[in-house]
Chain A
Amino acid sequence: MKAHHELMPLVYDELRRIAARYMGRERPGQTLQATGLVNEAFVRMAVERTREFQNRTHFLAIAALSMRQILVQRARAKRASKRDAGGHQVTLNDISAPPSAIRPEFERPDPDRPGDVDVLALDEALSRLAAFDPEAAQVVELRYFGGLTVEETAEAVGVSPATVKRQWTMARAWLKQALEAEPRQP
């Protein structure tokens, strides 16, 4: 996976193109599952640029990393704009968004609500996890940000599905506890 930095622009391009198409179709604020976006990007890129990627999982791994970066980048931008506005502004975008997206940035997320995850805190915790268990961190990146199945993740990481399941379970337990233990910095 050494060539990530060279392939990343291709993946970004494709993701951006697909997202731009969705924007025309869906109402503002509508969200998509990362899985759908990533898979669509793969299908489109497989036709045009097969040679660049070693295989499907190689692509999915890069796409998962891209999605993680995109979400973090966006969350940072939102937090910055809210801070500028005094931290209490709820934008129009937020109002028309589904419940998971309405949560204002200054409110603690409720970890029991599925999909309601503070991306910045998760990203930060994931980086800490990667320091002592890089493989488990990658499993989370692939499963959560890339939407890969257990089997696809196993192929991408190069371990058995049973191992992925164990790593996934334990990484989630650790991440949940890490997110709860350290309230986000305002």
Chain B
Amino acid sequence: MTPQRWNQIKALFNGALEQPIETRAAWLQRESGGDATLLADAERLLRSFDTLGGFLDQPAQVAPEDVSQATLPGGEGEGAGWRAGDRIGEFEIVRTIGRGGMGVVYLATDRRLHRNVALKSLPASLAGNPELRERLKREARAAATITDPAVATVYSLEEVEGHLLLASEYLDGRTLRAVIDDGPIGVPAARQIALHVARGLRAAHDAGVIHRDLKPENIVVGPGGTAKIVDFGIAWLQHPTGAPQTKLTHEGAMIGTPAYMAPEQLIGGTPDARTDLFAFGVILAEMLSGRHPLVAPAPDSAAARDALARQLQAVADHARHPDPTQRFGSALELLAALEGLPEAAGTTVAGPPVSDDGTARFWWEFHQGAAAVSYAVLIWPVWLARAQIGGLEGRGFFIATTIAALMASMLRLHLWFMSRQHAAELAWARRRSAPFIRAADIMLVVSLVIGAGLVAAQSVLDVVLLGLAVGVAITFAFIEPSTARAAGLE
């Protein structure tokens, strides 16, 4: 049937349905204009309509077990059907971890070494292509030489019962995609993940391996905020014959990997180390803003106020420059730029400050430490004042002031420690302790003022206590906010 013919039948069919049933036959006769086949077709359709009953009225029914066993037509490797307990060579399947364009990934136990591995069953189509297999072997061998904590270790490439299997380190964690989708990552955590990924890239590039498909889905974030890159050496399998399909749908929505591809790769050029750097830049920008940079080009205002976020953004922009020659020259350069940023856990704070922000951070830390010490020392004049005031009031004054001073002092020591040892979590620690520090400071000021009022008039202690109260108030209200802002913490 041709579409034209169908349209004619359609017009007759729909027209006839609007006619009263008694005159329908006559109407059809007239409208079909003597075309007997057309008339017959329309009449047959109308008869079918009259007896439709419940035909297709209820949506399809489906058995859950059918769906759970379904495999993508043509898209999945042959190993798609393995179940827990199945043995493939020396591997015993534990469960399916995921499925992708390249095949199915299982958690399996290598019975020779009694260790868990991520077992990827590669497309069966590879078996028939000696050239691709040769390349796969070469790349897997190269990938296996990368030994870096930030890269999932490739254990072996094996051929078992006609299946091509790639065994690699099993990682317990979530993909960076899931982490980003969960909400804001926080600048320090983004920095830490970026550092790990940059280290992984550097190690891989040193070993002569390019990833070619770096994306949040290929980065696994572990429990301690450590990040590892997976799929080194095999990402090219997804598009073994050349450029991938375009990533943009007709409505401009970002789909799949092309969102992380460098311009030169998108137009079919040969990817090199700088292609990975581009993907890195896009990922870093996405971590900072929570959205793909093409979707949300400008970082949000809160992040922009953060000095560290601004610097990370600059690194991201440099890494994802459209012109490959304008990017970082290598992963090593990129890593150096990231490590040069302040707040490096244990790297910059120990040495001389490396930048304006490093100096500011130093002053902020100095201030926290100094305040912590002064508040502890302040207990001594308070002790003297207690003796002067005497009685129950003296005791009350001493206890209240000491508690406030110790609280304010210890919380600041805690922040100082976090800044030196766990820079990545400083922002979180500051947020959490802020209300307690504020309460302790206010309590300290108030009790010092009350104490000054209670001390006998002839003593100089009232002046000392008032002075201390003013000092604490100024610290709390002015000095601390400015050092924190200067250090990029606000």
Contact = CB atoms under 8 A, between A and B. Distances in A.
Interface of A: 1-3, 5-9, 12-13, 15-16, 18-20, 22-23, 26, 28-35, 37, 48-49, 51-54, 66-67, 69-71, 73-74, 97, 100-101, 111-115, 117, 119, 131-133, 140, 143-147, 166, 169-170, 172-177, 180
A7 B247 CA distance: 12
A117 B255 CA distance: 36
Given A3-B256, A48-B181, 4 more contacts: A2-B249, A54-B251, A144-B60, A177-B45
A176 B61 contact: no
Given A6-B256, A132-B1, A67 B65 contact: no
A42 B269 CA distance: 37
Question: Which 5 pairs, one residue from A and one from B, show the smallest C-beta to C-beta distance?
Answer: A114-B54, A147-B59, A19-B67, A22-B64, A177-B48
Interface of B: 1-3, 5-6, 10, 13-14, 17, 44-49, 51-73, 75, 98-101, 178, 181, 245, 249-251, 253-256, 292
Contacts of B69: 16, 74
Contact of A173 (B45, B59, B65): B45
B53 A132 contact: no
Contact of B61 (A12, A32, A69): A32
A174 B69 CA distance: 32
Contacts of B73: 69, 73
A13 B56 CA distance: 27
A145 B60 CA distance: 5
Contacts of A22: 64
A170 B10 contact: yes
A174 B3 contact: no
Given A9-B100, A173-B48, A31 B62 contact: yes
Given A9-B99, A9-B101, A173-B45, A132 B6 contact: yes
A35 B59 contact: yes
A133 B153 CA distance: 52
A96 B481 CA distance: 72
Contacts of A133: 3, 6, 10
Contact of A15 (B14, B52, B58, B70): B70
Contact of A172 (B2, B56, B67, B72): B56
A36 to B, nearest CB: 9
25 contacts: A1-B249, A2-B249, A3-B253, A3-B256, A13-B99, A18-B67, A19-B64, A23-B65, A23-B68, A31-B62, A32-B61, A33-B58, A48-B178, A53-B253, A71-B62, A73-B73, A74-B70, A111-B53, A112-B53, A112-B54, A133-B3, A147-B60, A170-B14, A172-B56, A173-B46
Nearest to B254: A51
Contacts of A166: 14
Contacts of A2: 249-250
A169 B17 CA distance: 11
A119 B60 CA distance: 9
A49 B52 contact: no
A175 B60 CA distance: 15
Contact of B55 (A13, A20, A28, A176): A176
B66 A70 contact: yes
A170 B13 contact: yes
B178 to A, nearest CB: 7
A12 to B, nearest CB: 5
A13 to B, nearest CB: 6
A66 B62 CA distance: 12
A110 B251 CA distance: 43
A169 B44 CA distance: 14
Contacts of B255: 3, 6-7, 52
A34 B3 contact: no
Contacts of A5: 75
A31 B253 CA distance: 35
A50 to B, nearest CB: 8
Given A51-B254, A176-B52, A16 B67 contact: yes
B435 to A, nearest CB: 32
- Central interface residue in B65, B71, B99, by most chain A CB within 10 Å: B65
A156 to B, nearest CB: 14
A31 B10 contact: no
A23 B49 contact: no
B15 to A, nearest CB: 11
B60 A67 contact: yes
Contacts of B64: 19-20, 22-23, 26, 30, 32
Nearest to A175: B56
Nearest to A51: B254
Nearest to A168: B56
Contacts of A35: 59
B61 to A, nearest CB: 4
A33 B45 contact: no
Contacts of B256: 3, 6, 52
B291 to A, nearest CB: 9
A74 B55 contact: no
A99 B97 CA distance: 36
Given A9-B100, A34-B62, A70-B62, A117 B3 contact: no
Nearest to B67: A19
A29 B63 contact: yes
Contact of B65 (A28, A37, A53, A132): A28
B44 to A, nearest CB: 6
Contacts of A170: 10, 13-14, 45, 49
Contacts of A49: 181
Contacts of A73: 70-71, 73
B55 A111 contact: yes
Contacts of A15: 67, 70
A115 B66 contact: no
A180 to B, nearest CB: 8
Given A114-B55, A132-B2, A140-B56, A174 B45 contact: yes
B55 A32 contact: no
